[in-house]
């Protein structure tokens, strides 16, 4: 019986979808409605009818047959009716409503025409935000509402973050003109056979009939800040309180905080991805890759992704690997490595860098001389803050000389201390590997009489690894990071809390970041990369705990185990995405840029924007408060009053703008 009703439902769907939308055929629709009600009464005798009993065929009779009632009737009768069936019922049921408002499909087609009519860079781009409106007759959620509000911005406007382009830099005799891309991927329009005709055409197919949008429009943007704060009471808000002169509000008023002015001005950054127009011919490209700074899980994954995209995606045949950082450009004894997809096929299976890595060596003039002498016109720099500063200097010098060289950075730091980015590759792997050390320290502490396990983790001046590893573990009792001051001795000190934990639970697990407590182990000087040398806080803290407490202390430092391992699945995927988009950015003609995730989208950012300062953990942020909730640790710093507290934090913690974004 149910099969019969389903077949009848499909017949009614076809019948009603073919109705002309005028009053001439209202009697046919009325008959259909009565038929539906009769069938409903056969199934459910108590069901009320939804059609008018009037047999009048006039324009007014159409109003009695509401689309919402018929849609509800069809849904209740046919059960799992497809969305297309429901839409056809609602479309054909009410002539009056159809004639008075446009359909959602027509609205979508209109918007598509508007978007297709816009040009490339420099033209206005309209972002439409759909907002549902209240229906006068019914509040059914199944209806698609007509869009009412628009948000507009101009590409290149005041809120658009600009990035350097070779069109504004190159000063060669031959004018720089955009070319049709040679990038070949599924659903791309340009798909040329390169090596072996059979394999290439089998792997890459272009479906002209498909409507898959593959290339990124030059005007696509991503919002830099995703959270708009309502009031100054919002966690991590940056709202400005009004002055008494402006608002006439007394500072002692209880409602003062609620009268704050919260403004939100979005900044737009360029969306990463392949462009249909490029500025390099693949046969003229000589690409180079260099890795700088300390090791990090995922470096080889990025190298493999860059090489694969250059060779297989664009058809570039000349790719060089620079040995041992920036010094490999100009120091004697370093030979470039010829890179190919075959050569890096299994590079991601091992940790470290197949090119070698080193700090320092940033002689910009010598580096640029070597770049121009070798004919390199694409340079990919994989490194952290210092390496990006070097990449920016190289890009600026190439621009000063008017050379056609695109310099693109890929942020590499296990510390996750790059401004504006959601996360850097290798960080998740580091947190995961740190769990092994914390677990070992926990077992040692629980197995000993009054056992204390101390784990020192990487991070330099930032405590992201320590904070996230503590949250992930659930076994840590104390977490110490550079951004939060603490006392070791005294009534509110760390050692006193360790004593309390030993008395309560018999053991204690403590995690400390390598940059924490440097005032206790001061060391002067800097390393080859210009970073300040750090004292070894771990052994010093263990010594102090043993002095004042009868306990068995076990110390673990997994630094080189964490940074030298192979990237996990999450970081490996990120590395592949970053490597591909770095190549797309270079071919698009950008220079002096870096690539990273902002609000879950891959974007291009100007290098100066991310190297202003190091990003640090916000002690007033939600993630740190989550960690405090997890450990239950107190404040290990005693302040005399609020003014002293504020002064202390101002002296030890940088500006709020460098803190981690709220997620």
Which two structure tokens, joined as six digits, stand for 415? 């510390």
Task: Give the integer Cα–Cα distance in Å for 279 and 99.
Answer: 50
Task: Give the integer Cα–Cα distance in Å for 516 and 619.
Answer: 14
Task: Give the integer Cα–Cα distance in Å for 416 and 408.
Answer: 19
Specify whether the CB–CB gap between 5 and 81 falls below 8 A: no
Alpha-carbon distance values, 148 to 130, 140, 223, 342, 576 (Å): 7, 18, 22, 54, 40
Q: For 107, what's the count of Cα atoms within 13 Å in the CB-facing half-sphere?
A: 11
Task: Give the integer Cα–Cα distance in Å for 254 and 262.
Answer: 18
Task: Give the integer Cα–Cα distance in Å for 606 and 274.
Answer: 18
Q: Phi-psi category of 599—alpha, beta or left, where left has phi over 0 and alpha has psi -120 to 50?
A: left
Task: Give the integer Cα–Cα distance in Å for 497 and 505.
Answer: 12
In terms of DSSP H, where are the helices of 309-384? Answer: 314, 364-374
Specify whether the CB–CB gap between 566 and 386 falls below 8 A: no
3-state secondary structure of 47: coil
b/e sequence 172-196, b meaning 16+ C-beta within 10 Å: eeeebeeeebbbbbebbeebeebee
Residues in the chain: 663
Which two structure tokens, joined as six digits, stand for 251? 């500072």
Task: Give the integer Cα–Cα distance in Å for 310 and 166.
Answer: 19
Q: Which of 142, 363, 369, 415 is catalytic?
A: 415
Tokens 């031959």 map to which residue? 174
Alpha-carbon distance values, 622 to 55, 483, 585, 653 (Å): 66, 14, 34, 17
b/e sequence 342-368, b meaning 16+ C-beta within 10 Å: ebbeebbeebbbbbbbbbbbbbbeebb
What contacts 239, CB < 8 A, 6 or more positions away? 229, 231, 232, 260, 261, 262, 263
- Catalytic site residue 527? no
CA dihedral 54→56→60→61, nearest 10 degrees, is 50
Task: Give the integer Cα–Cα distance in Å for 92 and 21.
Answer: 7
3-state secondary structure of 202: helix
Q: Phi-psi category of 236—alpha, beta or left, where left has phi over 0 and alpha has psi -120 to 50?
A: left
3-state secondary structure of 605: strand
Task: Give the integer Cα–Cα distance in Å for 385 and 614.
Answer: 8
Of 149, 605, 152, nearest in space to 422 by CA: 605
Which two structure tokens, joined as six digits, stand for 571? 């970081």
Specify whether the CB–CB gap between 201 and 193 falls below 8 A: yes
Determine the straight-line distance between the first and last CA of the chain, rounded to whole angstroms: 53
Which two structure tokens, joined as six digits, stand for 241? 């309180």
Q: Report the DSSP pairing between strands 277-278 and 179-180.
A: antiparallel
Exposed, middle or buried by CB within 10 Å (0-12, 13-18, 19+), for 239?
Answer: middle
Of 480, 531, 506, 499, nearest in space to 635 by CA: 480
- Write out the catalytic residue numbers: 415
């Amino acid at each position: 019986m149910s099969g019969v009703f389903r077949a009848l439902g499909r017949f009614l769907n076809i019948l009603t979808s073919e109705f002309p939308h005028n009053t001439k055929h209202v009697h046919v629709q009325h008959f259909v409605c009565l038929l539906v009600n009769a069938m409903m009464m056969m199934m459910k005798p108590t069901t009320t009818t939804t059609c008018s009993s009037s047999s009048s065929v006039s324009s007014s009779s159409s109003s009695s047959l509401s689309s919402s009632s018929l849609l509800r009737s069809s849904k209740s009768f046919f059960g799992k009716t497809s969305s297309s069936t429901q839409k056809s019922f609602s479309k054909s049921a009410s002539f009056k409503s159809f004639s008075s408002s446009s359909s959602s499909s027509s609205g979508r087609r209109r918007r598509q025409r508007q978007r297709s009519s816009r040009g490339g860079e420099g033209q206005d781009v309209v972002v439409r935000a759909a907002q549902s409106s209240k229906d006068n007759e019914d509040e059914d959620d199944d209806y698609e509402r007509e869009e009412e509000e628009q948000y507009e911005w101009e590409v290149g406007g005041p809120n658009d973050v600009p990035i350097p382009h070779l069109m504004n830099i190159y000063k060669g005799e031959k004018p720089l003109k955009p070319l049709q891309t040679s990038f070949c991927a599924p659903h791309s329009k340009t798909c040329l056979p390169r090596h072996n005709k059979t394999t290439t055409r089998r792997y890459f197919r272009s479906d002209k009939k498909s409507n898959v949008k593959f290339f990124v429009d030059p005007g696509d943007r991503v919002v830099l800040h995703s959270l708009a704060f309502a009031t100054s009471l919002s966690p991590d808000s940056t709202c400005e309180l009004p002055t008494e002169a402006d608002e006439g509000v007394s500072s002692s008023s209880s409602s003062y905080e609620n009268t704050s002015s919260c403004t939100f001005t979005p900044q737009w950054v360029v969306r990463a991805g392949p462009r249909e127009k490029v500025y390099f011919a693949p046969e003229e490209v000589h690409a180079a890759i260099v890795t700088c700074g300390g090791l990090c899980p995922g470096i080889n994954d990025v190298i493999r992704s860059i090489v694969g995209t250059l060779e297989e995606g664009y058809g570039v045949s000349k790719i060089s690997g620079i040995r041992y950082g920036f010094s490999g450009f100009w120091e004697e004894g370093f030979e470039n490595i010829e890179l190919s997809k075959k050569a890096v096929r299994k590079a991601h299976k091992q940790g470290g860098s197949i090119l070698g890595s080193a700090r320092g060596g940033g002689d910009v003039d010598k580096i640029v001389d070597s770049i121009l002498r070798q004919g390199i016109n694409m340079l990919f720099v994989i490194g952290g803050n210092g390496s990006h500063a070097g990449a920016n200097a190289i890009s600026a010098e190439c621009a000063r000389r008017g050379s056609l060289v695109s310099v693109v950075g890929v942020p590499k730091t296990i510390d996750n201390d790059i401004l504006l980015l959601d996360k850097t590759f290798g960080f998740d792997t580091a947190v995961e590997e740190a769990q092994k050390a914390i677990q070992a320290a926990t077992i040692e502490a629980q197995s000993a009489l009054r056992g204390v396990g101390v784990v020192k983790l990487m991070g330099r001046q930032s405590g992201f690894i320590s904070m996230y590893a503590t949250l992930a573990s659930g076994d840590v009792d104390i977490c110490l990071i550079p951004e939060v001051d603490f006392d070791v001795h005294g009534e509110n000190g760390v050692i006193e809390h360790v004593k309390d934990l030993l008395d309560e639970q018999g053991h204690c697990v403590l995690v400390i970041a390598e940059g924490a407590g440097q005032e206790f182990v001061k060391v002067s000087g800097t390393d080859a990369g210009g970073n300040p040398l750090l004292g070894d806080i771990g052994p010093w803290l263990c010594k102090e705990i043993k002095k004042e407490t009868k306990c068995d202390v076990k110390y673990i430092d997994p630094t080189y185990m964490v940074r030298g391992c192979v990237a996990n699945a999450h970081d490996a995927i990120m590395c592949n995405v970053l490597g591909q988009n770095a190549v797309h950015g270079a071919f698009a003609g950008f220079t002096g840029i870096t690539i990273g995730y902002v609000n879950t989208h891959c974007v291009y950012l100007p290098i100066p924007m991310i190297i202003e300062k190091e990003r640090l953990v916000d002690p007033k942020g939600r993630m740190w408060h989550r960690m405090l909730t997890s450990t239950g640790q107190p404040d290990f710093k005693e302040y005399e009053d609020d003014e002293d507290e504020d002064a202390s934090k101002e002296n030890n913690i940088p500006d709020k703008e460098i803190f981690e974004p709220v997620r």
